[in-house]
Structures are given as C-alpha cells and as structure tokens.
Chains A and B, each alone.
Chain A
Amino acid sequence: MSTLPDDVGLSLVPPVAEATRPTVVESVSPGRRVWERFKRQRLGYYSLLILASMLAISLLAELLSNDKPLLARYDGHWYVPIVQTLSEADLGGELLTEADYHDPFVQQQLTAPGNFALFTFNRWGYKAMNYFPETPHPAPPSASNWLGTDIIGRDVAARLFYAFRLSVLFGLALTVSGVLIGVALGALQGYFGGRVDLVTQRLIEIWGALPELYLLIIFASFFEPSLLLVFVLLSAFGWISLSDYVRAEFLRNRQLEYVTAARAMGLTNLQIIWRHVLPNSLTPVITFLPFRMSAAIMALTSLDFLGLGVPPPTPSLGELLAQGKTYLYAWWISVPTFFVLVITLLLLTFIGEALRTALDTRVRDSAAAAS
C-alpha cells in the first residue's frame, strides 16, 4: 500500500523534503489488481489456462487433424498437400479429381520406395469421408477412426476438434460484438439520460420483444443459411441485457464529482465518456464476459441441433448432438460431444466465478484467496 506519509503532521511548511524519498512499492493499476486477485482464484485461473491452451491447440487444427499430408515426396518432387491441391493423376493415378489420401491406391503410391508422406497426428479432416469402412456408418471407434465415424462416414474426433474451435471462436466473436453494441448504446443512454434515454429505452424494448427464434427460421428460409447469418442475427439481439447494466453504471458514474471536474476542465463529452466514465463502468461487463460466452456457445449449439444453424459440412457440436440423438446406439457420437460441451461450459463458468470474486470489492483479498 501507500508509502506516503499520512497527512497528520501539523506543520504549515509543505513537506517538499519528502519529494526526495525513494519509492519502495510500485503502484498497481486497478486492472492489474483485479488480475492479481483473479490469479489467486486457483480454479478459475487454471480453467482459464486450460481453455486458452485448448483454444490455442485447436487453432492449429489443420496441422493436427487433416486427411492431407503435411509434406509429401513423389517422383522426386516435394509437395505440400496441406496447402496444395494435388489430383490423383499427379500421384500416378488416372483421375483428375483431388487425391483421396485414404484411398489404398494413393497410399500405396506414397509409400512406394523413394516416395514419402508426412501425415498429421489424426489422419482425418472434418470433411473427409471414410469410403473404405470395415463396418457400416456410423462406425464405432477403430484404429483408423479413433472416435468412430458419423452417419456419412466423417471422423467424429476430427469433427469434434474443429467444432470446438468454431464454437469457441463464435462465442468470442458474439461476445465481442454484443459488448461493443451493448456498451455503446448503454453509454449513450446513461451518459445523456433524459429524453435520449427515454426514447432509446423504448426502442430497445420494442427490439427486445421481437421473437428471435422465429426471425432465425424466417431468415433461414430467405437466405442461404450460413455462419455469418447466424452471427448477425444473434448479435442483433445478444446485447440487450448488457446495455441495461452499462446504462445503470453510467447513470451512477456521470453524477460523480470527477465527471463534473472533467466537464469543468472543458473536456468534450466523448473524452469524458471514454476516459472517465467508461473505465469505471465496465465491472458488470467484465464479470459477465465468460457467462456471455458460454451463452453464445449454447445458442449456436442449440440452433445447430435444431438444424437452423450453420450449413453442412461445417463442423458443429449441435449437429453432432443431433446425430447422437437420432442414432442413440452410436454412443461414440453423443458421449464425446457431450463431454466437450460440458467441459467447455464448465471451464467458462469457473472462469466467470473467479472473475466475479476478483471484481467484488466486498470480498477482502485474504478471503478471496481462501475460497
């Protein structure tokens, strides 16, 4: 804490001499303090680390789970099939279509002496179908498809891996867009108040009364379903509850004296909002971030489950769950999907809980560390 002298000495001489005192402790910014408090929440902190590394690994999905080899040598030529499109003819076959690296002929070509192929860790991409199954699809886990195949023969492990990445990225994007819209509108309402607030609030109420799901169904029939469409529609409604919190914080903070002081200084409204009110109004926003993200992931999953979400062949947790529901015996589809979903949401919840404790000024540091 402070190393400055307390203001109790009664001398009227200004304590300028103290200016020479060396500083002992470096100051921590409020944001840094929250981070320190968050780090002390073991469960939440490790959850964040785990989720972050899971995401980081999944960002490299193409290098880890792909039906195309990373590197191949054929007839003395080096190829990078992962970025290159090679036809079967290039590899000594007849067809001019892209090579299927699971085709026994192609495999044979690549393992011939002098030739060589470096495959990824899991030899399936999310789109590739297993045309050479030992059992009919959906096939149970085997040496080639570790978590079996889905109904049309795609590798469940690969699809889960890609679907996880898509869900988390989608959740992040939806959270960011929701925060941007919600904070901007809430700030506008709260800072200007009065008539602006009144009119905007009524408009928000009307907007919020629109049935989101029906709109999605209607739009899905108008336009070609795509990830972008789902994203736009979900972000158009995802900010509503958030703007209320920001508005309330702004209403409270704009009355504080430091805002009056800033106005007296001659700052413009935008400067006051950006520099003075906004940083002090973000606590509820930050607290809700992980929960908003898990809600976004759930929303995408539910839409996909209902078949209103992303179009095939996009890898999606909801679509996998729907298959699992249709083919109840294919436990290798439903059970792993369920676990991926539960673990992701659980990690987000732990992060959210820890963040909430870290931001709660009523919980003292010692108590926060103990919990």
Chain B
Amino acid sequence: MTAPLLELEKLSVRFGDTVAVRDLSLAVQAGERVALVGESGSGKTVTALSVLRLLEEASISGAIRFQGEDLSRYDDEQIRTLRGRDISMIFQEPMSALNPVLTIGKQIIETLVLHEGLSARRAREAAISLLESTGVADPARRVDSYPHQLSGGQRQRAMIAMALACKPRLLIADEPTTALDVTIRARIVELLLKLQQRDGLAVLLITHDLHLVRKFAQRVAVMEQGVLVEVAPTEQLFEAPKHPYTRRLMDSQPVRAVTPVEASEPTVLKASGLRVEFKHRRGGWRERFRRNTLAAVDGVDFQLRRGETLGVLGESGSGKSTLALAVLGLVRPAAGTVEYDGRGVKYASNAWRAMRGQLQVVFQDPFGSLSPRMTVEQIIGEGLELHRPELTAAQRRAALIEVLGEVGLPESALSRYPHEFSGGQRQRIAIARAVVLKPLIVVLDEPTSALDVSIQRQVLALLTRLQRRYQLSYILITHDIAVANAMSHHLLVMKDGKVVETGETQQLLGSPRHTYTQSLLRAAQ
C-alpha cells in the first residue's frame, strides 16, 4: 500500500490552556472521500485548519504528512504554495469567504495566475470553463459578477470552482452545504461527487449532517470533544455504530410525538387572506418615483386550535419568517385579517398590548435572542413585570423558579448571564421567557436549527411536553422536514410568499401533491 495522501499522526491542537484536538490520527488516501463528523466544539474544523496552518495562536504537536512529506518542516512560504495548489478548502458561508469587492472571475484568475503561472487571457478562459463545469449558469457572463449578485447556491458553486482551479489533490470542505437550502444542498453534493470522480480528488468533508455523510462519504471519522472516537467505512458505521457517542448521534433524529387535538378545542388564531408587502426599489432614478411593492406573504389563510401545532415549511425567501412577524404583529399586514382568540385586533390599542402577553416567540439563534447584559432573572422576569404587575417580587421569583424547573434548568441559573450557558441551555432560557406568561400562542421561528442534533431532539421533546402541559398552540417555522414532522399537526408549505400545499402533516408528507413539496422531500432523503 502506498503512503496515504494526507496522514495525521497524534495531532494535538491547543489554544492556551484549552485542548481543541487531542491525539488524533487519521489518514486520507488519494481519491478517497472521508467525512469528519462531530457536533459544534468537537474540534473538526480546527483539525482541518491545522493542516493548512491557518490557525493563529495555536500550538500544534504531532505529525501532519502530505504525500509522505512532513508539513511541520515546511516554512510559511512552502505552506503557502501548498495552499490552493495541492490542498484547497471550501467554507460554510460562501458570502463571507468570497471577497465582496472582486468579481468571482478575478478571484479565480488570481489563483490561476499565482499558482499556475497562466497569462491573464488564458486564466480567464480557464475560469469560464471551471465555472461551467461547476454548473454555474451562463458562465461567460457570471465570470464578471460580484458575489452579492449570485444566489447562495451559485456562490457555493463559484467557491468550488475557485477551490478546484489549480487541480488540487485534496479538497477540504468545511460544512459546504449548511448555509444552503435543502433543494440546493442535494445539487451541490451531486456536483462535488461528480467532480471528485472526474478529477480523482480526495475530499475531506467536515460536517454535522449525517444525511450528507451517508450520501457522500466512503469512510467516516467521528469526533467528540477533540477526540477521534470511531473511524469506519460509511455502510458499517451506519449499520453498526460501535462507540456510544456515534450511536447517540445516530439516534438523535427527531421522533414524531404529537398528541391529537380534540375537534372541540377552540380556534385561537385565524388568518385569512394575509398579505404583507415590502417596499422594493429597483435601479434607475425613474423607479424612485414609482411605488414598487414586493409581497413577502401573499394571501395566506390558516387557523390554529388550542393545543395544536401548525408547521410552516419553506426555504429561505419563502416568506415564512415574515408570516411569523405578521402573526406577532411586528409587521402590519397590507391586507387580510388576523383574529386572536376569536377577536380582531386594533394594533397599538391597549387590548392589543395586553394580547402581547398571550403571544410569545422563540427565535432561532440562542446567542442573539438573549440580551447579553441582563441576568436570566431579568430576561425571563421582564414579561411578568410588564403583563402581571400585580405579582409581588416573591411571587414573581417563585414563578421564575417554577418555569426554570419546567425547562430543565436549576434555580441557580437565575443570577447568571447568557454567556455562561451553552446553546441548548440558552434556547431553554428563551423558551422559559416565552412560556412564563402561560401564553395562548407561541411562534417558534426555527427553534432548533442553530443547535446540535442531539440537543435539537431534547429541545423538541421539551416543547412537546410544554405544549401538552399548558395546552399551548405553536406556529412552527422551519426548513427542516424532520422537525416539522416531529412536531406539527398541520403543515403549510410555502414558496415565494404563497402557500403551495396545506394539509394534515403525515398525509401531506406521505403523499405530497405539489411538485415543490415533492422536490423538498426528495432532497431531504
């Protein structure tokens, strides 16, 4: 057997006193597809960055060998020539990984001129054919586009074209599809597979997405808190995971736990013909004098009964988050009505302000949704102070302790600040803030998509338990079919502001009628 293309031996990476990676040994053969799987903080990205010596202030020990040569003996100049030419990398967020003030063509040409020594004209031709091979539509024109002019999927294709410009031997793909919509994800994976086979390239795929691993990788390495716990061929790993952590990861797919809602339950929320518009300005000075509006939500009807969950499924730009804001009264609908608990609302009236307490929200990002300078007590207690001013301080504190217990946090959390909690715990705090007022309706805007898979399942279970206990009605906004399936009674599938399909969840997912729903389901499999 020849020497592996990339060999890591007893690799350890330390930042100050924290060990990010401990004694990791892993080999990638030429032309092989290896996935490095783990949750956030498992050290998978650090491992990849250490190969290209892209980490600052890290102390690295152990051996990194590429094509049999010890990279630790390379000086910075040698490493630099290696980057992009022999080993290249694609990142999670193509928008921030591409330089926004250079056209994508320029950025590809730059690598070609630098590493391959091509003339400017030859490099441009090469760039166009690269873009073509990565499936960028109309490459001769797109080569002069700036990153912001491309869609997310197109940008990721351009990134891949850039990474492959110098025909590297190894491609490190760090969460290449996480920032993309599901339907586009599938296409990017297909593209990577096609290119990998064409060029005989080795790919080290870093991801937390087990679907992607199954579709793409030949071998899987699982990392937990900086330690490599299991390496096995993909089939074998999925059939018979050996390490308990791997098994936990496998089981963390959300399970459906939905209690049926009695037909006699009252309707708490009813929207009909809901339409939300945004001002939309096109280029040209003449357009400044016209009113251009863009309907982010267009003619949506639904109703929600007590104790019921309505899933709103859609990709980015489908208008699902705008729908949530409209339900919360944070954007005013241009047309249509929303009735809460059988009553219409006059926004900004006193009745509406009182209604606010009945209508709560949990956001996606547990880091952004809690004010960093307030204690948990202040964060959760704020709603009580506002909507239940009759409570004494002691009663309020008792209510806070009760709700914390409800979401599984100790009483000692009250005096702490958000930064002292992990992502899952923060999301629990956000949920506590929403349920402490015993609201009628809670809008869940992607409540789990920023969380690791194992925590995602716990948070979903918590939400289900709270729903049963307090008869809460949920509006669950999500792009994740598994999450929608686990929680919702009814589903709305949205695309471009319109509802394309609606129905009982299992029926809808079992036999989708609309082609868009079908393509969503296919992509998620």
Contacts and interface: CB of A to CB of B under 8 A. Distances in A.
Given A258-B369, A275-B382, A27 B16 contact: no
A262 interface: yes
Nearest to B371: A258
Given A1-B420, A266-B386, A257 B373 contact: no
B252 interface: yes
Contacts, number: 125
Interface stretch (A4-12, A125-133, A289-297): A4-12
A280 B387 contact: no
A267 B368 contact: no
B368 A19 contact: no
Contact of B408 (A14, A256, A280): A14
A4 B423 contact: no
Nearest to A253: B371
B458 A7 contact: yes
Contacts of B407: 14
Nearest to A3: B412
A264 B413 contact: no
Contacts of A366: 16
Interface in A228-257: 256-257
Interface in B423-475: 423-425, 428, 430, 433, 443, 454-455, 457-458, 461-462, 465
A144 interface: no
Range class of the B interface residue count: 35 or more
A224 interface: no
A7 to B, nearest CB: 3
Interface stretch (B90-98, B165-173, B226-234, B352-360): B352-360
B420 A261 contact: no
A119 to B, nearest CB: 52
Contact of B454 (A10, A22, A23): A10
A27 B356 contact: no
Given A7-B458, A257-B363, A18 B410 contact: yes
Nearest to B17: A366
A267 B382 contact: yes
A27 B462 contact: no
B375 interface: yes
A30 interface: yes
B373 A260 contact: no
Interface string B387-430: 10000000000000000111111111101110011111100101
A30 B461 contact: no
Nearest to A27: B416
B369 A8 contact: no
Contact of A275 (B374, B375, B413, B465): B374
Interface string A1-40: 1101011101010111011111100111111000000000
Nearest to B424: A7
Interface string A64-76: 0000000000000
Interface string B289-323: 00000000000000000000000000000000000
A194 B360 CA distance: 27
B405 A30 contact: no
Nearest to B457: A10
Contacts of B443: 264
B241 interface: no
A13 to B, nearest CB: 9
Contacts of A364: 16
A16 B408 contact: yes
Contacts of B365: 257
Nearest to B378: A275
6 contacts: A7-B425, A14-B465, A15-B408, A28-B417, A264-B330, A276-B371
Interface of A: 1-2, 4, 6-8, 10, 12, 14-16, 18-23, 26-31, 256-258, 260-267, 271, 275-276, 279-280, 364, 366
Interface of B: 16, 248, 251-252, 325, 328, 330, 353, 356-357, 359-361, 363-365, 368-375, 382-383, 386-387, 404-413, 415-417, 420-425, 428, 430, 433, 443, 454-455, 457-458, 461-462, 465
8 closest Cβ pairs, A-B complex: A266-B356, A7-B424, A14-B408, A257-B369, A23-B412, A279-B373, A2-B420, A257-B363
Given A22-B412, A266-B353, A276-B371, 8 more contacts: A7-B424, A12-B458, A14-B406, A29-B417, A30-B417, A258-B370, A265-B357, A279-B371
